[in-house]
Structure 1
């Protein structure tokens, strides 16, 4: 079912399953990290109120300052996970590291689709000085683009932090769904890790499958990020593992607290903060949970593909929703 017009329903905090057991102080700290960037009725008021709240009063703050609002659009709810990959690479091309990661070319047109993934991988940008770093594995490079940020470990031990800089304007296509449709993977075994395994086991088909996703992502080097900080989200601030949610800003304001309930293998009952977006995140009931950095986080993120619901906390001072 395709999403339709958004519908909003007012709830009470007693309607949120697990609300009383969450770490509201942890959620408040993450909300504070970006709430100063929010605009619109009620949000500046809520941000100002949050500044002086003691950790022990965090739950009371959320209940006094916000109203839970369920936003639906007729589409199915879907929660997925994302992470910050950590990969071996180099600043120079070599037989070990032949796969380039590109900076955003300055002549890339902003309003129209540009070079396709097929054209770029065939060398349309080669030798123009846009290469940032090089990886050993085209599958790793492909999934780094899906995640939108990552860490590249260089031979001398330095770590290069990369963030999303832009795309080529082509729509994102899920190759997991493509492999399911072809019968290459069963629907219950199409996690990111299993898709990676399939691509590596089928090198002759790999390029064509990956090129079915015409979306190509460019990166920028992130300077000055502390090693313990997450990657930068859409709001330009580091995201937080287990608390940051990527959403569709057409339905959920960036910076808003969002309560999520999922019932997969790893159930979530948690107050998140909408601090990021993604090309595949479209609709009022679609969200991506940031779970952390490195291969273990990647495996965990790849297992999240669950239904559920999300409830936006709307400032009481904003008036009727």
Structure 2
């Protein structure tokens, strides 16, 4: 994404004091890696799934003042036998350990031909970056050098049209698996969650039931890239605004809503919980069912956020005694909101975090939004990762299970996105696609998983730092 830098917005006198400023602001502003918004992380307490019903009866108001708001057998390989596994230290307790192709569970059954379009898109992004000066946040991307001959060969194969089996042979001959493992070479087991692209009903104009805005990024929002001046803070950013010659935390959700100068709204949504969950996912589609452009569908893509920590509204309702933890599903939160219209704003403001959006056209209904790697996400084949461990743009092989089952889900994917809670070795957040069915799968996805980075032969995968 494109961020306004400190140098563009702050007086020069403040720049030498930025490191002190970063420390001072840590308690007030949210430091995080640039990526999808803080809530778009697959770890929301609320699952998009049926749960214990909750009676739609009004609550007793005014019992306590709310905190800020929140929801919540392997086949043969053509690659040959690898030498003894070298290791590459990572900035965690894990290492990359070279592995043979036949160590990947389910590799021979994966329909890797289905990844070919995504592989070429991934290569296009890598090649486009080669030789260019890029923003500091892009330092978490793959190093372009080892990939240039691979991508050139992939383009040549695509031009000729791969025949049956050629894609798998190409991958096995050109790439090599490196397991995210321990020092002994054992694969690390991480957590695999899911996210998706929801659909909301919206209008271009405020009115009637369309009262819940999806805002563009405010003109006065500063995003300060700390890594541009202090390499040890690479990937860390703070967000705020100028008041006089001082940088202060940006407004909370409640402060934005109560301000006479709110950011422009792209659309107004007819359901507050739908609007909230779209913010949790980080992007979505809006069907314009009223007002100008009625009947059209647009994408509202993540642009930025206000820097405040995310708080789960599901947890808030539990803390307020309005729901039990077993009842805290999206469906029951919606039921509570319908039964308590006078407290909806109170619930929402319990979460100080606010996500801002930009409008995009939906050019291909099968594509997802653009992730942190800058290419459209591919349902089931794109994942968010911790870029301090797995560089963005890396093809990976993921071995996990389908949501709430022991049925193996083993296939090739691409590290094309990030998320604030996607931290640690073998941690992944799978993009399930668009719509309600994708939402059902994403909401239930909390499975153990193992990960192999697929890297060009002759080179070792770099960590992002």
Please tell me whether residue 49 in structure 1 is matched to residue 153 in structure 2. yes
2:258 to 119, 123, 142: 123
Aligned residue for 1:222, secondary structure, equals strand
1:100 to 205, 213, 217: 213
- For the structure 1 residues 117 and 45, does the alpha-carbon distance in structure 2 shift closer, same or farther, using more than 3 Å as the test? farther
Q: How do 1:122-141 and structure 2 match up within 5 A? A: 122-124=257-259, 127-141=261-275
Q: Which residue of 1 aligns with 2:44?
A: none
Deviation (angstroms), 1:127: 4.8
Inter-partner Cα distance in structure 2 for 1:69 and 1:181: 44
Deviation (angstroms), 1:129: 4.9
Asked if 1 retains the 8 angstrom alpha-carbon contact of 2:188 and 2:450, the reply is: no
Q: Which residue of 1 aligns with 2:25?
A: none
Asked if 1 retains the 8 angstrom alpha-carbon contact of 2:384 and 2:429, the reply is: yes
Moved more, 233-242 or 136-145: 233-242
> 1:72-129: per-residue Cα shift (whole Å, max 9, x none)?
5899611111111111110111121100000011210102342223323x433x5545
Inter-partner Cα distance in structure 1 for 2:449 and 2:315: 20
2:303 to 165, 187, 194: 165
Aligned residue for 2:329, secondary structure, equals helix
Inter-partner Cα distance in structure 2 for 1:274 and 1:281: 12
Q: Which residue of 2 aligns with 1:278?
A: 419
Q: Which residue of 2 aligns with 1:12?
A: 100
Aligned residue for 1:221, secondary structure, equals strand
Asked if 2 retains the 8 angstrom alpha-carbon contact of 1:27 and 1:273, the reply is: no
Residues matched between the structures, number: 312
2:167 to 58, 75, 78: 58
Inter-partner Cα distance in structure 2 for 1:284 and 1:212: 32
Q: Find the structure with the greater CA-based Rg.
A: 2
Relative to the length of structure 2, the TM-score reads 0.61
Please tell me whether residue 88 in structure 1 is matched to residue 201 in structure 2. yes
Please tell me whether residue 28 in structure 1 is matched to residue 116 in structure 2. yes
Please tell me whether residue 37 in structure 1 is matched to residue 125 in structure 2. yes
Deviation (angstroms), 1:46: 2.2
Inter-partner Cα distance in structure 1 for 2:274 and 2:264: 19
Please tell me whether residue 151 in structure 1 is matched to residue 285 in structure 2. yes
Please tell me whether residue 109 in structure 1 is matched to residue 222 in structure 2. yes
Q: How do 1:124-273 and structure 2 match up within 5 A? A: 124=259, 127-155=261-289, 156-173=294-311, 184-186=323-325, 195-203=329-337, 211=349, 213-223=351-361, 225-263=363-401, 264-265=404-405, 267-273=408-414
Deviation (angstroms), 1:234: 1.9
The alignment yields a C-alpha RMSD, in angstroms, of 2.9
Asked if 1 retains the 8 angstrom alpha-carbon contact of 2:383 and 2:413, the reply is: yes
Structure 1, gaps ≥5 residues long: none
